[in-house]
Amino acid sequence: MDMNSDKLIVSKVLILDDAVGHFDGLKAFCGDAGLLGIRPHGDAGSVMSILRSNVDLGGIMLYENYGGPAGEGLGLAREIHALRPELPIFLRRDATASVAGLTERDAAMFRCAYTLQDLQHLRASLDASIFSRVYPNDLVRGIAEMTRASLESLFHGCDVDMETPYLVKDRIIHGEVFTMIAIESNWCRGYMMLQASESALLRLLGEDCEEREPMGFRELNNVLGEATNLIWGSFKNRYVGTTDTGLHGQTQVPIIINHHRNYISFGSDDPQLCFKYTLRPQGRGDVAVPVYQRFVFNLSWSPEAFHENPSVEALVESGELELF
């Protein structure tokens, strides 16, 4: 990821549009709007299997006639909405940039309807639903730096790659191992999560451990717990002031976790800030273990009050500290 880019955050959207003649236009629009468009390889029948997998998305762009006869896309939209109701669906129509003519129940499934002649209407809807929350670039860069450093310190001999940070509207849990810690400051309140596959991480940690007993899940839990604490400690040192208040007397909301469905809900529809890191043992190009990190500031979010605590170097330069 280019951490010097002005556009640090994207959102993955599933594009269900088989009108080949409009592909280039939609692709250019996605690039300008900060969208990472992905399309299914198969026909409309493969879409539901994709959505049943752990593909995290910000939304779905659906053509009303996707998959064949006129109106076929509506039937698919009903299936999608029943399976993943948290995902906003943006409906492309041939003639009408509205949900006119649809039943009230069908119209309620879509965040907006648009035509290729009125993409600004789509852009406004995307900004209001997927990109409704602004994350300061310095915060995004800082999270990436401190997380990469923490993972490198715990997973010795591994390179840590990172994809472009992205926003999601779904509530998917990746893998079996899940850590969560409260994030607290005067400008934000919420949670940070790390998620990963237990078996993949156990294999990774056993790569250079031939001289001792194989690591069990309890030891793995300790490693991920330590990673979570390291990241939160770095976050606190960098972004949380000494006068920030705690939880006393503040509102909480219930967190719902359904492991069978790989589902978690924090009682908020706000998009979550996500990072994907890939651990690669040096000299083993065939091994790649993803670790997912999510931030949900569901209890309080005031980015205008965000600030970074001054570093030692900055305090020396300002004259507040001097080197001994």
Residues 124/209, Cβ–Cβ less than 8 Å = no
Q: What is the pTM of this model?
A: 0.81
Amino acid code (one letter) for 58: G
Residues 92/115, Cβ–Cβ less than 8 Å = yes
Residues of the chain with pLDDT under 50: 1-6, 209-212, 247-249, 315-316
Rounded CA-CA distance 202/195 in Å is: 14
Tokens found for residue 85: 């109701």
pLDDT in tens, 181-229: 999 898 999 999 999 998 898 888 776 544 445 567 788 888 899 999 9
pLDDT reported for residue 258: 78
pLDDT in tens, 123-144: 999 998 898 888 998 999 999 9
Number of continuous H segments (helices) and E segments (strands) in the chain: 9, 13
Alpha carbon 229 to its chain centroid, in Å, reads 20
pLDDT reported for residue 248: 47
Selection from 303, 1, 33, 294 nearest residue 12 by Cα: 33
Residues 126/112, Cβ–Cβ less than 8 Å = no
Domains of the chain by start residue, with CATH: 10-129 (3.40.50.2300), 137-313 (3.40.1550.10)
DSSP string, 37-86: EE--SS-GGGHHHHHHSS---SEEEEETTTTSSTTHHHHHHHHHHHH-TT
